[in-house]
Amino acid sequence: MKGREALPNTDGGRREDRHVPVMLQRCLDLLAPALEEPGAVVVDCTLGLGGHSEALLRRFPEARLVALDRDTEALRLSGERLAPYGERAHLVHAVYDELPDVLARLGIPRVQGVLFDLGVSSMQLDEAGRGFAYAQDAPLDMRMDQTTGISAAEVLNTYPPGELVRILRAYGEEKQAKRIVAAVVREREKEPFTNSARLVDLIRDALPQAAKRTGGNPAKRTFQALRIEVNGELSVLERAIPAAVETLAVGGRIAVLSYHSLEDRLVKQVLAAGAASTAPPGLPVVPERYQPRLKLLTRGAELPSEEEVAENRRAAPARLRGAERIRESIE
Per-residue pLDDT at 5: 45
**pLDDT at residue 216 greater than cutoff 50:** yes
| pLDDT tens figures, 111-143 | 999 999 997 655 445 455 555 566 678 889 888
Give start and end residues of each alpha helix (H) in 260-322. 261-274, 306-311
Per-residue pLDDT at 283: 78
**pLDDT at residue 298 greater than cutoff 60:** yes
Would strands 319-325 and 294-296 be described as parallel, antiparallel, or unpaired? antiparallel
**pLDDT at residue 10 greater than cutoff 50:** no
The helix/strand/coil state of 113 is strand
| pLDDT tens figures, 217-246 | 888 899 999 999 999 889 999 999 999 999
Read off the pLDDT band of 285 (50, 70, 90): confident
**pLDDT at residue 23 greater than cutoff 50:** yes
Per-residue pLDDT at 116: 97
Task: Name the more confident of 325 and 211.
Answer: 325
Looking at the chain, the whole-number percentage of residues with pLDDT higher than 70 is: 86
**pLDDT at residue 9 greater than cutoff 70:** no
Using an 8 Å Cβ cutoff, are 142 and 230 in contact?
yes
Per-residue pLDDT at 153: 95
Residue 218 to residues 95, 157, 197, 207, Cα–Cα distance (Å): 30, 20, 13, 8
> What does the alpha-carbon distance between residue 290 and residue 84 come to, in Å, rounded to a whole number?
45
Looking at the chain, the whole-number percentage of residues with pLDDT higher than 90 is: 67
Task: Name the more confident of 161 and 142.
Answer: 161
Per-residue pLDDT at 13: 41
> What does the alpha-carbon distance between residue 93 and residue 68 come to, in Å, rounded to a whole number?
6
| pLDDT tens figures, 255-283 | 999 998 999 999 999 999 999 987 788 77
Give start and end residues of each alpha helix (H) in the chain. 24-35, 51-59, 72-82, 99-106, 122-126, 152-158, 161-172, 177-190, 196-206, 209-212, 220-231, 233-247, 261-274, 306-311
Per-residue pLDDT at 128: 53
**pLDDT at residue 108 greater than cutoff 60:** yes
**pLDDT at residue 1 greater than cutoff 70:** no
Per-residue pLDDT at 7: 42
Read off the pLDDT band of 100 (50, 70, 90): very high
Using an 8 Å Cβ cutoff, are 20 and 51 in contact?
yes
Lowest mean pLDDT among 4-8, 26-30, 191-195: 4-8
**pLDDT at residue 148 greater than cutoff 60:** yes
Using an 8 Å Cβ cutoff, are 123 and 69 in contact?
no
| pLDDT tens figures, 29-68 | 999 999 998 999 999 999 999 999 999 999 999 999 999 9
Read off the pLDDT band of 14 (50, 70, 90): very low
Per-residue pLDDT at 134: 63
Average pLDDT of the chain is 87
